[in-house]
Amino acid sequence: MFAHPETSVFSSWTDEILVAGEWRRGGGDLVESRDPATGEVVHAFHGASLEDVEAAVSGGLAAARDPAWRDLLPHQRAAMLHRIGDLIEERADLISAVQTADTGKTRKETRALALSAAGTFRYMAAALETMEEAVTPQRGGSLTMTAHEPYGVVAAITPWNSPIASDAQKIAPALAAGNAVVLKPPGWAPLVSLLLGRMAEEAGLPAGLLSVLPGSGSVIGNALVAHPKVGKVSFTGGTTTGRTIGRVAADKVMPVTLELGGKSPTIVFPDADLDQALAGVLFGIFSSSGQSCIAGSRVFVHADVYDDFVDRLVEATRKLRVGRGTDPDTDVAPLVHHRHRDEVAAMVDQAVSEGATVLVGGHAPEDRELEDGAYYLPTILSGVTNEATICRDEVFGPVAVVLPFSSEEELVTQANDNEFGLACGIWTGDYRRAYRVARAIDAGTVWINTYKQFSISTPFSGHKASGLGTEKGREGIKSYMRQKSLYWDLTGEPMPWGRH
Ligand code: NAD
């Protein structure tokens, strides 16, 4: 159904979503995917309705309980995940083209996201095959062991900034654990999730184990979270939404994984390799057009090198090439949506009204070729303190604030004085300092002399308002399972009251 080459991809899309193994027209409102480079509609289709939610959850539960899935041995379920991973890799170009049209991202990035999703399926397949349960130390007459079992139906709710990778990060371990998954992709970038649904089907995943329900977060997302038969929610998105989901989950006494927002510090010490630091700071904030939860948006630079480093950073930022995601020379592509671009612009304008100085950027490009797209120039602000709104709130766009610091102690206090605790970058040539600061910073991930490097084999979590729970890594599968303990009597002795 998804013909290649790229130009004919969208003519072959149909008005269908995946509900419990059936491709059918959604019963909900029209969802429009627009190319943010041009504002043109890429594909319009009907999203899910509450009836679709009901069908997806009930169908998912039935599929998860079906012996054909439930009784598969780990290596057999792993084979399915490998097939999905292989198909994703085979279709990486197609996935990349669809995702670039849907999100505006560069082809280089969307291809990398596709390959990362393939790797996630393979890693989780391997983790599943090698996962071990424990016979726990015996403390009485029983053999004791711990086992892990699937929840049944998992709801996976994802944001628009790196769709196929965040979909895979939830679907692969949840399926590996033996669950069915109902995926609620974001309103602004739903297409690649539907494509993933097609590929899972083509790989032979039994019907009902994956539903894909695009639609409104507050209606469809909320209905999924609140549904009594959904046993776990794995959410990636904004902190406000995460709090709402957490409240519903608390009422249900249901586990949730929340991967939320950030306002990450990236720190340049004077003893750093400053060329390397410059490239890292630039990439850390402006890659993905700054639409990254882990973007290094607060750049702390030591006073000894501040003037020189900031001058070079501004110059390098000015040289970044802003353009279409389909242009191989583009560094900074459009933002995901015109509305989002306007929100980013409004935050910069507010910062300026509160006293910030624009060192570079600060507006949309004036190039006529880009005037229809949701572009915003990479922007660096200075002249504010860490208390300013622009240093508190997540912009989720290509906007960095530079902040001078003088001592390590003051730096750590400032870096931690923020609601979020997602990531941090440290640039220094002193390994003792690197270790000391890394341990002192409240963040789930700290990069030392590098930034934005990810591996599916390394756990990922947010501290403070950046999240709850952990994804990735070998233990990632277990976060989609509930634990059970077994006691087997080995003695044959009657229980204490057995003689009465
Ligand atoms: P968002 O919170 O607006 O939406 C995320 C998803 O939640 C979407 O699918 C949306 O439709 C759905 N949703 C919205 N309201 C809901 C509700 N009441 N109940 C259930 N679902 C609901 O976030 P966004 O704008 O799509 O993404 C940007 C945010 O995601 C940023 O804050 C970013 O930092 C965060 N993010 C975090 C990580 C991480 O791993 N920590 C990764 C990527 C993005």
Q: SS3 string of the chain?
A: CCCCCHHHCHHHCCCCEEECCEEECCCCCEEEEECCCCCCEEEEEECCCHHHHHHHHHHHHHHHHCHHHHCCCHHHHHHHHHHHHHHHHHCHHHHHHHHHHHHCCCHHHHHHHHHHHHHHHHHHHHHHHCCCCEEECCCCCEEEEEEEEECCEEEEECCCCCHHHHHHHHHHHHHHCCCEEEEECCCCCCHHHHHHHHHHHHCCCCCCCEEECCCCHHHHHHHHHHCCCEEEEEEECCHHHHHHHHHHHHHHCCCEEEECCCCCEEEECCCCCHHHHHHHHHHHHHHHHHCCCCCCCEEEEECCCHHHHHHHHHHHHHCCCECCCCCCCCCECCCCCHHHHHHHHHHHHHHHHCCCEEEECCCCCCCHHHCCCCCCCCEEEECCCCCCHHHHCCCCCCEEEEEEECCHHHHHHHHHCCCEECEEEEECCCHHHHHHHHHHCCCCEEEECCCCCCCCCCCEECEECCEECEECCHHHHHHHEEEEEEEEECCCCCCHHHHC
Residue with CA nearest ligand 1 atom 22: 217
C-alpha–C-alpha distance, residues 31 and 44, integer Å: 6
Residue with CA nearest ligand 1 atom 12: 217
- Report the atom number in ligand 1 closest to the C-alpha of 186: 9
The residues carrying an active-site annotation are 170, 259, 293, 471
Residue with CA nearest ligand 1 atom 42: 293
Q: Is the CB of 238 under 6 A from ligand 1?
A: yes
Note the pLDDT of residue 495: 87
Q: Is the CB of 452 under 6 A from ligand 1?
A: no
Note the pLDDT of residue 46: 98
Domains, the chain: 5-260+466-485 (3.40.605.10), 265-448 (3.40.309.10)
pLDDT beneath 50: ranges in the chain: 1-5
Note the pLDDT of residue 2: 44
Give distance in angstroms: CA of 317 to centre of ligand 1. Answer: 28
Tokens of 154: 């998992």
Q: Is the CB of 420 under 6 A from ligand 1?
A: no
Give distance in angstroms: CA of 397 to centre of ligand 1. Answer: 15
Cβ contacts of 447 within 8 Å, gap of 6 or more: 423, 424, 425, 426, 453
Note the pLDDT of residue 499: 67
Note the pLDDT of residue 9: 67
pTM (2 d.p.)? 0.97
Note the pLDDT of residue 6: 59
Q: pLDDT tens across 465-486, in order?
A: 999 999 999 999 999 999 999 9
- Report the atom number in ligand 1 closest to the C-alpha of 466: 41
